[in-house]
Each structure stands twice: as structure tokens, then as C-alpha cells.
Amino acid sequence: MNYTQKVISLISILILATQLSHSQQIPSELEGIDTEISKWMKSYNTIGLSVAVVRDGKIIYSKGFGYRNLKERLPVTENTIFHIASMSKAFTGALLGILESENKLSLKDKPAMHIPNFQFYNNKMNDLITIEDLLSHRSGIGTQGVCLELFPTTNKLKTVQRLRYLKPESEVKNSWNYSNMGYTLAGTIVEQITKKSWDQNIMDRIFTPLKMNNSCTTIEAMKQSKNYAIGYGVYKGKTEPLPYQNYYAFAPAGSIKSSVKDLSNWIRVWLNKGIFNNTQIIPKSYIHEASRPQNIKFNETYSKDSFLLSEGFGWRLRSWNGYYRLRHGGNTNGFSCVTELFPFNNTGIVVLTNQSNSVIPYIISDIISRKLFKLPPSENYPVLVSDIYKPEEDKPFNKTKMPVLPLDKFTGTYYADGFGNIQIIEEKGKLLALFPTFRFKMEHLNYNTFYLKGMKDFKESFNPEFTVKFLDNQKGEISMLKMFAQKAPIIFKKK
């Protein structure tokens, strides 16, 4: 029996044990769902998964499958905490909706009204961008992943002040460009108005009133629980544990950790126009605004499900088989998830899994939706999990197109406003690029162009590979480094 077969066997045993020990009355419309979930988990070599279904204000199904910790064979339950990543965005939006109802801001306000000395890259952005644009991904800022992940800070205010140096990635007001930086800015506005951290606001205004007692915003808080999931990824057919991603200052875009039991209450408040236990938690007016199209997304496909494809506030909207659906997923180191709401059918589904780069949450939610709405099953689900990133072995220099200058001429510190420093060093005849949090090896491509790849100790599951080109001045000395890691190249000047 090989490694993969052993893992699948262990998962199968635990899934069966979970079903026997946590049996519940399954609604007739979901008959056979346990078997289908088990089947798909085996197909995807998924370690752990939890799912909950809410209908007409009640939790009609809530269950865990597989392991939250494969090594210790600890089972997943409905209370197991998973990282929900970008599903956090709807929480950040809700905070702003609450503050608007208290007349502390308007979603039509410009960020500079609430953040001292704040400005964007140009006057057009300063004049046009509002909080609504941040929440609907139409600000043009873009996700700014290089700034947030390769040059992280723990201070949100310092992070968003970098925006004055960061070029927009698309047209302001007239584009859809997913933006973690936009939600970081939105969360910073919350902090500036309330004089409390984003984390404390989430706890006070959402977790506590919704009785989300197994939810938190930091890795440290999650580890204080006795029931949290370890994240896993698949690499060349083998499953292995992954470290938790630290969101640093961009926590408002994706740092919440929660369970399906807690998220059932989150679903209930959205389906009940913001009311939970007879108390208005989220303003009804905000629920309506967040749930309607704010930013239309172009789709070339001409089909019944291609219309109404748009962005709300923290939700993606579309017509699905004739039903109006709100949905948002999340994906981070070791975790994939999705929440779906059908507001006009009073139905919601959440699926969490501790598997990176996985579409199984979407498959399970689609299967459940089809059962609930009495639609025929789909036959087009892909059996695929993307491999996590792992650096490969070093490659020899391209000797036919060697660097123009000796390697030591490339070494030094390079700086760019809005990002920070990159240090280039020579070690054992190779160049290395040292970022604040990561080390990259530099493989020579041709002349003064190099390909950057994570070192063997690189622990992230995302692919960080990109190219850099060194530029010389009139004296023939290296003076700049051009990084091709996002839509527009970034220029770093040698100090």
C-alpha cells in the first residue's frame, strides 16, 4: 500500500466513524449527501472538511468529515476552526455598514476624509475613489500582492500610506480588479473612526452578538482552542502539512478563522435582513446594498447563468439556474472554503476544508444546492487539486548569454517607494535576493535578466516566481533593478 492509499484509507475509516458517532436526522432533500461528500473527499485526497446548511432560519445540516490533524488522527467536527481567508471581506464590509448606520461615515466618503495625510497615486484617484469602490473592487488599486506579501508590515496605517506610491492596476470606477489592498484600506478606515483595532471591532460588533464563540482573527488566538485544523497541500500526489499564512497588516482582507457552526449564524443574519435573536446586528439597508450589483463584471459567455454576474460588497453575485446567489470563497495556505447565500430562497451553505488550492468546497456546495432546489446532478466536476508551490533544484547559468558584468557588480541594496529594500548578495557563486520575509535564488536567464525562485525553505503555497532585470547607467554601472512581478514593472534604485 503506497502513501496515497494509506491516507485515503485513514480518511475513509474516520469518515465512517464520524458518521456513526455524530449521526443526525438528515433532511429528506439531502438524502445521500454523507456518501457523496465521502466519495469526493476520497477523489480529492482531502484530509478534512466541514459543512453546514441553513434554511428558513434553521440549521438543517451541520457535520464534520475526516481529520483536522492527520498525524494525530483528530477528527473534524462542526466546531473545528478553519482559516476562511477572503470570506473575511464580507465581515469588513459589514463593519462599515454598521458605522454608516451610526452616522460615523458614509460609504460614499473618500478615504482621505477619515485617514490623516492620506492620498492615492494621482489626483484622479483622490477625486473619485470612495469606500463603495473599495468594497466592490472598482477602485482600480488592484490587489498589490507584491507590496502586501513580499514587503509586509504589521501596521495598517503605514501600509495604506504606501498607496501614494503605488500605480493603479486598472481604470478607476470602470473596471473589476480584485483588491486585498482595497479591503486593507477599508479596515484601516474602521480603525481610524472607532479608535479600536479591526480585530476588536470584529469581535465586539460581529462575533459577540452573533455568538460566534469559536471564531477569531489571529493564528495565536486560534491555537488557544483545542479544536482547530492544520492546513494541508498536495504535491506530486502526496499530502503534507503547511504553515499558517500570516496576514500582517492586510488582515481585513482575509485573516478570520471560524467554524461552520459559527458561520451558520453569520448566514442566518444575512438571510434575516441583519437580525439575529430579535436584534438588528447589521443594518437592513446595508444588507440590501451589499447584496445587489455594485460592479458589473463582463462575461463573454451567452447563457442563462452569465447574466447578473457582478460584485456586491464582499459578495459575488449571479443568477445560478434561475436562482439569485451571493457567494464568496477563500483560499490560503492549507485551506479552501466557500459560503453561498440564496437570499430569496432563505437558504445558505458553507463548506470549509483544510486543503490548499482545492475546488472541493465548490463541488460540495453545488451538489447540496442541486439537491435543495431539486435540480439534476452535474456531470462536469473536475477531479483536480493544484499542487502547492515547491522550489525545484538549481539550474546552471546560461553560459551562452552570461551576465554582462561580474556577479559582484549586481550586489547591493535596492529601494522603491511604497515597497522597501531588496538586498542582492553573492553566495557560493550565485546571486540571492533577500526580501523582508523571503529569500529567493536568482537563476540567470540571459544578459542582465534573472529568474527569481523561492529557496528550498520557502514555506508558502503560492507561486512567487518572477523575473528581474538589472539596468546600468551611462557609466556602465548597475543603477536599477526592474521587477516583473505584477501588471506594471516596479523600479528599485540602487542605494
Question: Which structural domain, as residue segments, surrounds residue 50?
Answer: 1-388
Report pLDDT for 20.
41
Measured distance CA(464)–CA(483) in Å, rounded: 12
Sequence letter at residue 249: A
Measured distance CA(380)–CA(5) in Å, rounded: 25
Q: Which positions ≥6 away from 3 have C-beta within 8 Å?
A: 237, 238
The C-alpha cell at 457 is 525553505
Provide the 10 A C-beta neighbour count for residue 13. 11
Q: What is the mean pLDDT of residues 141-145?
A: 89
For residues 89 and 180, is the Cβ–Cβ distance under 8 A? Answer: no
Measured distance CA(276)–CA(268) in Å, rounded: 7
Q: Are residues 312 and 450 in the same domain?
A: no
Mean per-residue pLDDT over the chain, rounded: 90
The C-alpha cell at 148 is 502586501
Report pLDDT for 383.
67
- pLDDT classification of 153: cutoffs 50, 70, 90: very high
Q: Are residues 383 and 404 in the same domain?
A: no
Task: Give me the CATH number covering residue 424.
Answer: 2.40.128.50
Q: Are residues 251 and 190 in the same domain?
A: yes
Helices (H) and strands (E) in the chain, counts: 13, 23
Q: Are residues 177 and 145 in the same domain?
A: yes
- pLDDT classification of 22: cutoffs 50, 70, 90: very low
Number of domains in the chain: 2
Q: Are residues 428 and 379 in the same domain?
A: no
Q: Confirm whether 394 is domain-assigned.
A: no
Residue where the block lists cell 480518511 = 11
Q: What is the mean pLDDT of residues 287-300?
A: 86
Residue 493 has pLDDT above 80, yes or no: yes
Q: Which positions ≥6 away from 54 have C-beta within 8 Å?
A: 60, 264, 267, 268, 271, 347, 348, 349
Write phi, then psi, for 87 (nearest 5 degrees): -65, -15
Residue 115 has pLDDT above 60, yes or no: yes
351-368 burial by CB neighbour count: b if 16+ within 10 A, else e?
bbbbbbbbbbbbbbbbbb
Rounded to 10 degrees, the C-alpha dihedral 416/179/360/333 comes to 30
Q: Confirm whether 461 is domain-assigned.
A: yes
Q: Kindly give the pairing relationship between strand 238-242 and strand 231-235.
A: antiparallel
Q: Are residues 141 and 279 in the same domain?
A: yes
For residues 77 and 64, is the Cβ–Cβ distance under 8 A? Answer: yes
Report pLDDT for 416.
97
Q: Are residues 382 and 410 in the same domain?
A: no
Report pLDDT for 225.
96
Crossing angle, helix 3-21 and helix 33-44, to 10 degrees?
Answer: 160
Angle value at C-alpha 236, between 235 and 239, nearest 5 degrees: 45
For residues 188 and 160, is the Cβ–Cβ distance under 8 A? Answer: yes
Report pLDDT for 402.
67
The residue out of 355, 388, 421 marking a domain boundary is: 388
Q: Which positions ≥6 away from 360 have C-beta within 8 Å?
A: 40, 41, 44, 46, 49, 336, 351, 353, 385
Q: Are residues 350 and 420 in the same domain?
A: no
Write phi, then psi, for 321 (nearest 5 degrees): 50, 35
Q: Are residues 339 and 438 in the same domain?
A: no
Measured distance CA(244)–CA(234) in Å, rounded: 15
Length of the chain: 495
Report pLDDT for 63.
97
Q: How many CA atoms lie within 13 A of 49 on its CB side?
A: 32
Report pLDDT for 168.
92
Report pLDDT for 172.
92
Report pLDDT for 456.
63
Residue 112 has pLDDT above 90, yes or no: yes
Residue 393 has pLDDT above 90, yes or no: no
Report pLDDT for 17.
46
Exposed/middle/buried for 454, CB within 10 Å: 0-12, 13-18, 19+? buried
The residue out of 332, 364, 388 marking a domain boundary is: 388
* Predicted structure pTM score: 0.91
Report pLDDT for 447.
85
The residue out of 360, 388, 416 marking a domain boundary is: 388
Report pLDDT for 82.
99
Q: pLDDT tens, 33-78?
A: 999 999 999 999 999 999 999 999 999 999 999 999 999 999 999 9
Q: Of all residues in the chain, what percent carry a pLDDT higher than 90?
A: 72
Q: Confirm whether 358 is domain-assigned.
A: yes
Q: Confirm whether 484 is domain-assigned.
A: yes
- pLDDT classification of 21: cutoffs 50, 70, 90: very low
Task: Give me the CATH number covering residue 208.
Answer: 3.40.710.10
Q: pLDDT tens, 358-375?
A: 999 999 999 999 999 999
Q: Are residues 272 and 403 in the same domain?
A: no
**With left for phi above 0 and alpha for psi between -120 and 50, is residue 55 left, alpha or beta?**
beta
First to last CA, the chain: 57
- pLDDT classification of 317: cutoffs 50, 70, 90: very high
Return the H-helix or E-strand segment holding 361. helix 360-372
Q: Are residues 145 and 273 in the same domain?
A: yes
Q: Are residues 79 and 177 in the same domain?
A: yes
Q: pLDDT tens, 408-421?
A: 999 999 999 999 99
